[in-house]
Amino acid sequence: MRHPAIAIVGAGFSGTLLALHLLHRCPAPARITLIDRRSQFGHGQAYATGNPSHLLNVPAARMSAFHDRPGHFVEWLLRQPGGDALAAQGFVPRWHFGAYVRHLLYEDMQQPEYEDRLDLLHGDVVGLTETEAGLTLTLDGDRRLAADMAVLAVGNFPPEPPPAATPDFLDGRLYRPDPWAPDALAGLDTDAAVLLIGTGLTMADAVVSLLDQGHRGPIHALSRRGLLPRRHAPGNPPGLHATATPGPALPATLVEVTRALRADVRQATARGEDWRPVIDRLRPVTQAVWQSFTAADKARFLRHLRPWWDVHRHRMAGVVADRIEAARQSGQLQLHTGRIQLLREQDGAAVLTFRRRSDGTLHSLTGARVVNCAGPGCDYDRIGDPLVRGLLAAGLARPDELRLGLDITPTCALRDRLGALSGRLFAVGPVTKAAFWEITAVPDIRRQCEAVADHIAAIVKATLV
């Protein structure tokens, strides 16, 4: 590695931030190439939305890209036109965060000391191979890029298809597999019924988009438990930072943690206090708690408690929650609880048959479109992305046993098919969920990017001496 070259696949928040940290830590002549199939670097999936009703679900004051400069995003916001009003909102339109990340990227690229050390490459990475000499990334158009190390910052994948759908339905014109695709809600008759699979934050985004485009028809949302994300507390201090309360050792088993959490919530409620800070106080230690669980406890959590955790932990901004509530009150949005039994096309319409959880009876919903809002697909054996398929087929990576992402080490190195850790391949962001669990939002990813940059920079420095 005489001129170490590091490729980062994905220029959303994770990949972009990692690139910046690597730039600051790796000495010349190390070079970094940041690659994305999107033309706008820094936005990724979450912050690419142009809809002003799509708000951050974390207050702006907690969205700094740097944990040691907590006010950084808000200070940037305040320098933007209308920044005062935006910052006062707390939950700002998501695109502002994308613009902030992009600003960080271009600001650094203009610094003379970094000028020639970071390349932006627009393209789709469709393959990656490894030889003793290093890595070769294949991009669309049969372009090749040689690298000594590569980091997967590929973010979330579209939801897994509902198992009870007929194959021709999944390929047909009534189904939208990707809720974030531009055509997910386009071209709908305003009075048509729309069926959404999932009742989480992605569903909330879809409902808000439908309302914004003047949709008048019924919106049905279905999930196994029918749980809606809770709302952030009104007046939740935007600057509040979750802190670990020093105290007795944390319990290590799922049963003990659940019991302790429930007791804390009960006590807070009895004192007339809000339950949310109890959940938020766990944030800084959630990864450690997850890592202390046995495999059986992790599986049990995913099977029984995950839906409850998700709706309490990943909450809606008040404004969004109000709109969802109003749509429910008016009857336009109807939530259903049950398991899909069949999804098919009949007489030109989508028909979704589900078994209701409460009484086991069968019900059918009919609509002009079905949009899968079931949450990101995490089982890498079922993800069709060519890069993922190629990595697994070559044995360079393997899915983790809980099917939450790829199997990685605590330093974010990929494990190969046999479990050996790679010295060249790393991952950041949602791909690493199995090892960390709590690696969804900016406050967690920013710490991870720093740690991975430290680790990779140490390898680079060692090869340069």
Ligand X SMILES: Cc1cc2nc3c(=O)[nH]c(=O)nc-3n(C[C@H](O)[C@H](O)[C@H](O)COP(=O)(O)OP(=O)(O)OC[C@H]3O[C@@H](n4cnc5c(N)ncnc54)[C@H](O)[C@@H]3O)c2cc1C
- Contact flag: residue 286 with ligand X (CB under 6 A): no
Report residue 354 as tokens: 């589900």
When the beta carbons of 103 and 344 are compared against ligand X, the nearer one is 103
Residues 219 to 248 in contact with ligand X, rule: CB under 6 A = none
- Please select the residue that binds ligand X; options are 441, 452, 459, 460, rule is CB under 6 A: 441
Which residues fall within 8 angstroms of residue 380, CB to CB, at 6 or more apart? 388, 392, 397, 399, 403, 405, 406
- Please select the residue that binds ligand X; options are 13, 100, 309, 437, rule is CB under 6 A: 13
Q: For ligand X, which stretch binds (CB under 6 A), given 39-47, 223-231, 253-261, 339-347?
A: 39-47
Q: Which residue has the tokens 């931030």?
A: 17
Which residues fall within 8 angstroms of residue 235, CB to CB, at 6 or more apart? none
Q: Do you find a cis peptide bond into 29, omega within 30 degrees of 0?
A: yes
Task: Supply the minimum distance, in Å, between the C-beta of residue 445 and ligand X.
Answer: 6
- Please select the residue that binds ligand X; options are 8, 60, 104, 154, rule is CB under 6 A: 154
- Please select the residue that binds ligand X; options are 5, 7, 22, 46, rule is CB under 6 A: 46
What 3-state class would DSSP assign to 234? coil
When the beta carbons of 58 and 74 are compared against ligand X, the nearer one is 58
Residues 158 to 177 in contact with ligand X, rule: CB under 6 A = none
Report residue 351 as tokens: 């028909």
Measured between alpha carbons, how far is 303 from 123 in angstroms, rounded to an integer?
38
- Contact flag: residue 15 with ligand X (CB under 6 A): yes
When the beta carbons of 154 and 370 are compared against ligand X, the nearer one is 154
- Contact flag: residue 427 with ligand X (CB under 6 A): no
Q: For ligand X, which stretch binds (CB under 6 A), given 12-20, 329-337, 346-354, 407-415?
A: 12-20
Q: Which of 158, 19, 154, 35 is nearest to 431 (CA)?
A: 154
Characterize 391-420 residue by residue with b for buried, 16 or more Cβ atoms within 10 angstroms of its Cβ, and e for exposed.
bbeeebbbbbebebbbbbeeebbbbbeeee
- Please select the residue that binds ligand X; options are 109, 153, 206, 371, rule is CB under 6 A: 153
- Please select the residue that binds ligand X; options are 37, 67, 224, 447, rule is CB under 6 A: 37
Residues in contact with ligand X, counted by CB under 6 A, come to a total of 32
Q: How far is CA 429 from CA 15, 298, 451, in A?
A: 8, 19, 12
- Contact flag: residue 459 with ligand X (CB under 6 A): no
Measured between alpha carbons, how far is 361 from 140 in angstroms, rounded to an integer?
49
- Please select the residue that binds ligand X; options are 7, 32, 44, 343, rule is CB under 6 A: 44
What 3-state class would DSSP assign to 152? strand
From first CA to last CA, the distance across the chain in angstroms is 11
Residues 362 to 391 in contact with ligand X, rule: CB under 6 A = 387
Q: Do 319 and 325 contact (CB within 8 A), yes or no?
A: no
Q: For ligand X, which stretch binds (CB under 6 A), given 34-42, 296-304, 355-363, 392-400?
A: 34-42
Q: Which DSSP category does 318 fall into?
A: H
Q: For ligand X, which stretch binds (CB under 6 A), given 50-58, 265-273, 288-296, 324-332?
A: 50-58
Beta strands in 263-356, from DSSP E residues, in sequence order: 333-346, 349-356
Q: Which DSSP category does 157 fall into?
A: B
- Please select the residue that binds ligand X; options are 65, 104, 125, 278, rule is CB under 6 A: 125
- Contact flag: residue 56 with ligand X (CB under 6 A): yes
Q: Which DSSP category does 420 fall into?
A: P
Measured between alpha carbons, how far is 301 from 297 in angstroms, rounded to an integer?
6
- Contact flag: residue 36 with ligand X (CB under 6 A): yes
Q: For ligand X, which stretch binds (CB under 6 A), given 54-62, 183-191, 296-304, 343-351?
A: 54-62
- Contact flag: residue 429 with ligand X (CB under 6 A): yes
- Contact flag: residue 194 with ligand X (CB under 6 A): no
Residues near ligand X, by CB under 6 A: 9-15, 35-38, 44-46, 56-58, 94, 124-125, 153-156, 205, 387, 429-430, 440-442, 445
